[in-house]
Amino acid sequence: MDTYFHFIPNLRIYRFIFLIATTCLSVYLPCLQVIILGNDSQIRAVDKDNQPVHKKITLEEALKIAIEKNPQLQSTRDQIDAAIGSLRQSKLYPNPVLELLAEEMPSSELGLNQSQNLVGITQPIITGGKRGLGIKVSEKSKEKNELERDTVLLAVIADTKKAFYKVVADQEGYAIAKKVEEIAKGIYESEKVRFDAGEVAITNVLRAEVELSKARNSVSNAEGNLQNSIKELQTVMGIPEETVNGVMGKLLTKPGELSLHELELNMKSNQPFLKASKKNIEIAETQLTLEKRLAIPDINVSAGYKRLSLENVDTVQMGIEIPAPFFNRNQGNIQKGKALSRKAKNENLSVYNELLFQLKKNFNSYNVERRRVVEFRDKILPRAEESLKLIERGYKEGEFNYIDLLDAQRTWAETRISYIESLKNLNLLIADIERLAVIKIEGQ
């Protein structure tokens, strides 16, 4: 007789187990995520509503991130590591050659009892100071790579500053566009009230509405320009996928006077790109000396022990091998080295001329833009703002009509935008001059 057990599930127990399992998962899942994925998962600050908080960054923070994460700069650091490896390899001496030889072994009996057995070692001897010259070439190549890294570092700093200044300028442009929109909205509402009161014609309302639409379009364009500038800054910094909400900083408005002579001296003394070009001359000349020394043959010195099994005699062997340079005296590589030496000198002159041209060009543009900024700051802007305030007050009191107010508004906006554009250009020029002359330009 078979016996069957009938199991009736208890739903309350199942619910209790499910609640316990859910609670454990919610508590331990973050820990498991850290254990499995590591600590590289991105952590973002959140506000009280659990929304991401993206703070604005300063110029110092942007430069720090760029120096750490810019991929081009990382590439130059890797190149230096490779140069260090080449230098280490150049210091290693050639390995000796171990020789094991069995001669005159009879075919009737395999083994070493009836043969002549040789154990020897051969060591190449580098002559003519070629090893020292090879080490010197590797050392100068490493120094050149370090100077190239410094060149890229200056370029990354300058590009980061320029991208940062563009964001600052576009933030100012966006604020001006919003101000113009606010003014246009106020004019439109005022004209509409005056039309309802029968004081102005409907054309005033329509024109005010058109101006308000234009102002709103300008806000949209300014916002788009700002977002593009932020993306450019992120790309230069090496964090294109991160989120930056803007920057905190101001454009330099009162830069001091510069001396072209001092800038040229600083460039000659401190510009790493020019130093790297000079280092190429040293490398080429050292390599040429090495090519001439390679015509001197190296020597192979050998020593060994030989056992004559049939005679039961132990012998010692010594030998020296010296190649005879009858045909190959490294003539082709010597000719190549001379040409590369001349090429390095011509490239150095070309680099200096190009850097000097860029410096003079930026210096002249700097002076022009600086005078323009001073003119805007001291004369044009105060007058435009004063004119707008006077006409706004007169418009409210009925002394000026809508056309006068509209012209004053446009003049103020265009003047302000031109001033910001001039300031931006001035700061971009400052960043380029700092890169070329390797100096820091301060304000007055």
Residues 107 and 149 in one domain: no
Give residue 414's identity as a one-letter amino acid code: E
Residues 306 and 277 in one domain: no
Runs of H (alpha helix) within 258-330: 260-270, 272-293
What pLDDT digit, counting tens, does each position of 158-170 carry?
999 999 999 999 9
What pLDDT digit, counting tens, does each position of 328-343 carry?
999 999 999 999 999 9
Domain end, chosen from 281, 307, 329, is at 329
Residues 148 and 81 in one domain: yes
What pLDDT digit, counting tens, does each position of 376-403 carry?
999 999 999 898 889 888 877 778 877 7
Answer whether residue 135 is part of any domain: yes
What DSSP element (H or E) covers 303?
Answer: strand 299-308
Answer whether residue 77 is part of any domain: yes
186-190-196 Cα angle (round to 5) = 150
Answer whether residue 213 is part of any domain: yes
Residues 265 and 228 in one domain: yes
Answer whether residue 357 is part of any domain: yes
pLDDT band with cut points at 50, 70 and 90 for residue 309: confident
Q: Residue 120 belongs to what domain range?
A: 95-125+296-329
Q: Is 259 exposed, middle or buried (0-12, 13-18, 19+ CB in 10 A)?
A: exposed
Domain end, chosen from 286, 309, 329, is at 329
Residues 251 and 104 in one domain: no
**CA–CA gap between residue 80 and residue 78 (Å, rounded):** 5
**CA–CA gap between residue 306 and residue 100 (Å, rounded):** 10
Q: Tokens standing for 63?
A: 């430069």
DSSP state of 240: T
Q: Which of 179, 169, 168, 166 is nearest to 219 (CA)?
A: 179
Residues 222 and 199 in one domain: yes
The yes-or-no verdict on residue 39 having pLDDT over 60 is no
296-300-303 Cα angle (round to 5) = 155
Domain end, chosen from 281, 311, 329, is at 329
pLDDT band with cut points at 50, 70 and 90 for residue 114: low
**CA–CA gap between residue 425 and residue 82 (Å, rounded):** 39
* pTM for this model (two decimals): 0.80
Residues 319 and 408 in one domain: no
Answer whether residue 21 is part of any domain: no
**CA–CA gap between residue 225 and residue 242 (Å, rounded):** 18
The whole-number pLDDT of residue 112 equals 64
Cβ-contact 161, 169 below 8 angstroms: no
Beta bridge partners of 99: 120
Residues 108 and 257 in one domain: no
Percent of the chain with pLDDT over 90: 60
Cβ-contact 440, 402 below 8 angstroms: no
Residues 135 and 120 in one domain: no
Residues 325 and 422 in one domain: no
The yes-or-no verdict on residue 16 having pLDDT over 70 is no
The yes-or-no verdict on residue 192 having pLDDT over 60 is yes
- Say which CATH number the domain at 425 has: 1.20.1600.10
What is the average pLDDT score of the chain? 85
Residues 383 and 321 in one domain: no
Residues 197 and 318 in one domain: no
What's the total number of domains in the chain?
A: 2
Distances (CA, A) of 334 to 126, 282, 330: 19, 16, 6
**CA–CA gap between residue 400 and residue 70 (Å, rounded):** 56
